[in-house]
Structures are given as structure tokens and as C-alpha cells.
Amino acid sequence: MGKVYFASDMHLGYPDLKQGEWRERLFVRWLDAISADAEELYLVGDVFDFWFEYHNVVPKGFVRTLGKLAQMVENGIKIHFFAGNHDTWTFGYLRDELGLIVHDDAFETEIMGKKFYISHGDGVGPGDFSYKFIKWLFHNRVVRFMFTNLLHPDLGVWFGHKWSNSSRGKKGIEPLGYLGDDKEKIVLHSNELLKTQKYDYMVYGHRHLVVDKQIAENTRMVVLGDWLTNFSYAVFDGHDFKIVTGVDKTLLSAGLPSHS
């Protein structure tokens, strides 16, 4: 069997298409590199900094990424796309046009004999009711209908990018540091699940941190990092689950123009 790859939080399109083009090219080069031995790929949310599918319109850009993902699927690689909090509005295009397996919620699966729990990780754990209300609002059918039918796509996409950038607040792209096991909502959520379920690996995105923790005797919790500061991914070969950081350094040295 081939290897299984995991990555999240590329935020393609940040801060805009022009400035973020080098990062998309980097991501596509990475996709091309892993295609040699990948059997399956899990994109665990926020691949796009903003994504909304209208009835007959999708956001401008990302043709390199979309074309490469479609090619990988045609070559027999299964690709899972998790709707994150920035690209939650997927209504069939990625599934029907590219052949991606789209997940709107957490997903449990067995990979090479190991049980995995995979989730983008936003809105989990106790508290944070204001965010959970916003998340509910984003999934509300009436709100989606109004956004689709009352806003011209140019205005809707502009608004979406404005919201996406403003949602980072003053901290910019730098992630909030690890808060400790007693405060990290992903850890609290994982521990709650482990009271009734058993998992070998629990894999998350969203936090933009690289975390690899043994949270139970036979359970590792992994947060995948991002492609804004860490340029990280994970790979599982049936025996080892390894996190790799610094993709930009290895692939930029292979000839891709630097962004700096």
C-alpha cells in the first residue's frame, strides 16, 4: 500500500490571489511530489482562505490547485476534503467536478489497521458559545440562501475575503500559543470522546500549531500546523506517523521563486 498524507490550513488566497500565488505554487509542487507514493490524502480544512459555491459560479483563482487535485484523483489517489471554518460553503462542485470526498463534519476511519478520528477542530470542546453561534449561522440554510441569492458574487466574494482577513484580529497569521492540556479545547474534546471510544490517532487542523501528544495510553493527538508559518504535513505508512515541517525550504530550493 502507498502512504497516507495529511495537511491543513493552506489558506490559499491569503492575503489576496496575487500575493499568495507563490504559496499556491508551493502547495501544488508538494502535491506533485507526494503523488509518487500517495494512496490517500486528507486535506483537513481551510484549504482556501475563503470559498463559496454559488449555483453557477465559484471563486476566481486556484486553477493550479484544482487541476492538480483532479489529476491526482484521476490517477487513483483518494482525496478527502474537510470543510473548515473558512471554506465551509461547499455544495457539490468539489465533489462532482474534481472527485473529492467532502466531509462537513468529523470523520472516523480505519487506515492500515489503525483507527483514526479526523476533524478540522473548530468549535469543539466546552464554551466558546459566540463562535459556535457563528458556526451555526454559517450552516443555516436561510442565511446561505440569502447570501447566494441577494448578493452578487463579486460582492459576496469581496465580503467573504474581508471577513476572513478581519477574523484573524490583531494576531495576524501567527497562531495563539499552546494553552495547556487543561485549556486547549481540542484536547478537552479529545479526552471527552475517549471516554466512550478508542482511537489510535486523533488528527486536527485549525489551530495552526504543530502538536504531537500522547493523550492516552494508546492514543496520539496530532495538530497538523499550517502553510502560513509552519509549512507542515503528516505522513502515515502503516507503522510510523511522522510530522514534517519546513516544506517551503525544501521545495523552494528546487527552483520555485521565493516570496521574500
Q: What is the pLDDT of residues 168-189, one digit of tens each?
A: 554 556 677 888 999 999 999 9
Which of 173, 182, 197 lies closest to 259 in space, CA to CA? 173
Higher per-residue pLDDT: 124 or 44 = 44
Higher per-residue pLDDT: 110 or 255 = 110
Write down the pLDDT at residue 170. Answer: 45
* Grid cell for residue 177: 500559543
Task: Name the class of domain 3-252.
Answer: alpha beta
Please state, for a pLDDT cut of 70, what percent of the chain lies above it.
92
Q: What is the pLDDT of residues 13-30, one digit of tens each?
A: 998 888 889 999 999 999
| DSSP symbol at 188 | H
With b meaning 16 or more CB within 10 Å and e meaning fewer, what string describes 109-125?
Answer: eebeebbbbbbbbbbbb
Q: What is the pLDDT of residues 145-166, one digit of tens each?
A: 887 888 888 887 887 777 777 7
Peptide bond into 15 cis (omega under 30): yes
Write down the pLDDT at residue 260. Answer: 44
* Grid cell for residue 201: 490517532
Distance (Å, whole) CA 244 – CA 33: 14
